[in-house]
Structure 1
């Protein structure tokens, strides 16, 4: 069941609904705020929209890299199982 949680991002309080436990919601909130702070401190401009956009792009890149790695790992695991099967059958 989804519960309502209050999170603060860039000083703005937002109400979100999630089936995740409160600890997980707080972990996500902390991750987002840390990422925004890292990117914001690296920029000369204090433009919140730019900070959010860059954080989103960076996080999306990491997600896509992880997905690709997961697919590669799954493919390798399948090939290894096939090789083990062949070795055991020989």
Structure 2
């Protein structure tokens, strides 16, 4: 069931709707704020829009890297299974 939640990012309350439980929404909220604060600690004069943009770019890079690894591991597993099946066919 989709419910409304209030999350706070950079001191601003933002209404969001999610089917996730409250604790998961809070976990995402904390994760986003931690990422933004890590950037803010290095760029002390950056405006909020730049902080959010940089956090989004960093998270997107991490996501795409994980997605690429997952896609690669799936094809590696498929290749190994195909090789094993070929070996079984050869023996039988």
Q: What TM-score, normalized to structure 2?
A: 0.93
Query: Within the alignment, does 1:49 sit opposite 2:49 as a pair?
Result: yes
Q: Distance in 2 between matches of 1:49 and 1:77?
A: 42
1:78 aligns to what? 78
Deviations 1:35-63 (A, max 9, x none): 00000111031411111111011001001
Unmatched runs of 5 consecutive residues or more in structure 2 = none
Match of 2:39 in 1: 39
Paired with 1:46 and 1:74, the residues of 2 have a C-alpha distance of 40
- Aligned length, in residue pairs: 90
**Larger radius of gyration, structure 1 or 2?**
2
Q: Structure 1: which 5+ runs fail to align? A: none
Matched, 1:14 2:7: no
> Separation in 1 of the partners of 2:36 and 2:44?
14
Secondary structure of the structure 1 residue equivalent to 2:45: coil
Please give the secondary structure, in 2, of the residue aligned with 1:20: coil
Per the TM alignment, residue 21 of structure 1 is displaced from its structure 2 partner at its CA by: 0.9
Output the aligned Cα RMSD: 0.9
Q: Which runs of 4+ in 1 moved over 3 A?
A: none
